[in-house]
Amino acid sequence: MKNYTLSGLFIIALSVISAPATAANYIIDTQGAHASITFKIKHLGYSWLTGRINQFEGEFNYDENKISSSKIKVIIDLSSIDTNHAEREKHIKSEKYLDAKAFSKVTFNSTRVIDKGNNKLEISGDLVLHGIKKSIVIDAVKIGGGDDPWGGYRVGFEGKTTFKLKDFGYTFDLGPASQQVELTLNIEGIRQ
């Protein structure tokens, strides 16, 4: 009887150890500065204005074996926008432009994730900006994943999207070329 019990436990242990990866929850590592959100927009059509968002947080659920069940949520503090120029930031955050005081919270919640093969994903979701919700698509690439030196597991992605400011109710005009924002998200998640 003892041999059967030990054999059964051994078989169960082996099946758990060799089981394929399943869905896992991840927190985006903003504390360790292993994530960034950057943007660029044309300034009057003459040059690029680039910047980053300094304060954001997020989480995602990722299942390598069933990509379509994956989900991501990101919350951005728009008042943390940084263009490396304090006077310009005051200008951009003002009520005349982004109105970052009244609309500081920007959210993205995925609604669908499509596996495009070769570590490429198409993430559709709802972006709420300036109090207006619109669907956008983020083209993402899985950079990699693995054990970290602190005993955890991490996975990283890069995502890119573009959207028009006027779709979110912004009416300021810096020229037609300045309406399109290009956003890049580089995220590294820590498995929970």
pLDDT, tens digit (0-9, with 9 covering 90-100), for 86-123 = 999 998 899 998 999 999 999 999 999 999 999 999 99
pLDDT, tens digit (0-9, with 9 covering 90-100), for 57-83 = 999 999 999 999 999 999 999 999 999
d(CA 7, CA 136): 53
pTM of this prediction exceeds 0.75? yes
Place of tokens 């994956």: 70
Task: List 182's β-bridge partners, or say none.
Answer: 40, 162
Asked, for residue 136, whether it belongs to a domain, the answer is: yes
Other Cβ atoms within 10 Å of 142 Cβ, number: 16
Asked, for residue 143, whether it belongs to a domain, the answer is: yes
CATH number of the domain that 158 lies in?
A: 2.40.128.110
- Residue with the larger pLDDT of the pair 1 and 138: 138
Asked, for residue 31, whether it belongs to a domain, the answer is: yes
CB 168 within 8 A of CB 134: yes
pLDDT, tens digit (0-9, with 9 covering 90-100), for 116-168 = 999 999 999 999 999 999 999 999 999 999 999 999 999 999 999 999 999 99
Asked, for residue 187, whether it belongs to a domain, the answer is: yes
Asked, for residue 75, whether it belongs to a domain, the answer is: yes
How many domains does the chain contain in total? 1
Q: What is the pLDDT of residue 177?
A: 62
Asked, for residue 2, whether it belongs to a domain, the answer is: no
Asked, for residue 5, whether it belongs to a domain, the answer is: no
- Residue 32: which domain range? 22-191
- Residue with the larger pLDDT of the pair 49 and 80: 80
